[in-house]
Structure 1
Amino acid sequence: MKSFGLFLVAIIALFILLANLGPMILFALGVYLLYVIWKKFNEAQETGAKVFWIIAGLIVFSMTLSNIYALVGVFAVYILYVLFVRNDGPKKGWTKNGSGSDPFDSFDREWSSTEK
């Protein structure tokens, strides 16, 4: 039952990720553009150029701020990451009869008993 619940959480997180994929891309683009605008603002020498970069920065900042709910998608990616790292498949060293860590040990015993 626990694994079924984790499966449902993973499915819900996947749907949240897919629903927020567009805003996540726009948010990342906005953050990148803000970085570029900041660099251009620091390189500008004239006052007019600095004013232009400030206005461009405010426009891009408002675009980025309108996509702030994309952080829900980032949280969904984090949940999916944690679920897949936590549930990394069957445990190593597991055998059907539970003896030893090498799965071929039981095969060798069975083979030798059939040869006799």
Structure 2
Amino acid sequence: MKKFGLCIAGGIATIILLSTIGPMVGLLISLAVLYFIYKQFLKAESTGWKIALGIFGVIFLMASISNAPAIIGVVAAYILYLVYKNWNSSKHSVVKEESDPFVNFEKQWNEIKNY
């Protein structure tokens, strides 16, 4: 039942992630350009160049804000990572192995044979 729930959560997260790839790429590009505009703004000495960079910065800031649904895609990617990480958790298999009388019998039989 645990695997079924993980499968459902992983499927939903995959669909959401695939549907938000476009906004994620747009957000990444607009933030990268905004970062370089900011760096150039700090280096600029003329007032006219600073005004032009400020206008470009506002434009790319608006582009970044318009790609805000990409945050949902990032959350879906994280959920998909958690599903992948928990898919083969060995907590249940270790408990079953220790409580299984046949496994314990095999271990004890091998110990007796080695004496």
| Alignment gaps of 5+ in structure 1 | 100-105, 110-116
Q: What is the rounded CA distance, in whole Å, between the counterparts of 1:83 and 1:37 in structure 2?
A: 38
* Whole-angstrom distance in 1 between the partners of 2:44 and 2:98: 70
* Structure 1 segments (4+ residues) deviating >4 Å: none
- How much does 1:90 deviate? 5.8
Q: Is the 8 A contact 2:6 2:87 kept in 1?
A: no
Residue in structure 2 matched with residue 85 of structure 1 by the alignment = 85
Q: Which residue of 2 aligns with 1:2?
A: 2
Question: What is the aligned partner in structure 2 of residue 64 from structure 1?
Answer: 64
Give the residue type in structure 1 aligned to 2:10. Answer: A
Q: Which moved more, 1:82-91 or 1:44-53?
A: 82-91
Question: Cα offset for 1:37?
Answer: 0.5
Q: Structure 2 CA distance, aligned partners of 1:34 and 1:88?
A: 41
Q: Secondary structure at the match of 1:45?
A: coil
C-alpha deviations, 1:7-47, integer Å up to 9, x for none? Answer: 01101100100000010000011111111010000000000
TM-score, with normalisation over the residues of structure 1?
Answer: 0.77
- With CA pairs under 8 Å and 6+ residues apart, which has the higher RCO, 1 or 2? 2
TM-score by length of structure 2 reads: 0.77
Q: Deviations over 1:22-78 (max 9, x none)?
A: 100000111111110100000000000000010000000000000011100000010
How far has the Cα of 1:88 moved from its partner?
A: 3.6
Cα distance in structure 1, aligned partners of 2:49 and 2:58: 14
The equivalent residue for 1:44 is 44
Letter matched to residue 18 of structure 2: L
Return the structure number with greater helix share.
2
Instruction: Please give the alpha-carbon distance, in whole angstroms, between the structure 1 residues aligned to 2:50 and 2:58.
Output: 12
Residue 69 of structure 2 aligns to a residue in which SS?
helix
1:76 and 2:83 matched: no
In structure 2, what is the Cα distance between the partners aligned to 1:57 and 1:34?
Answer: 6
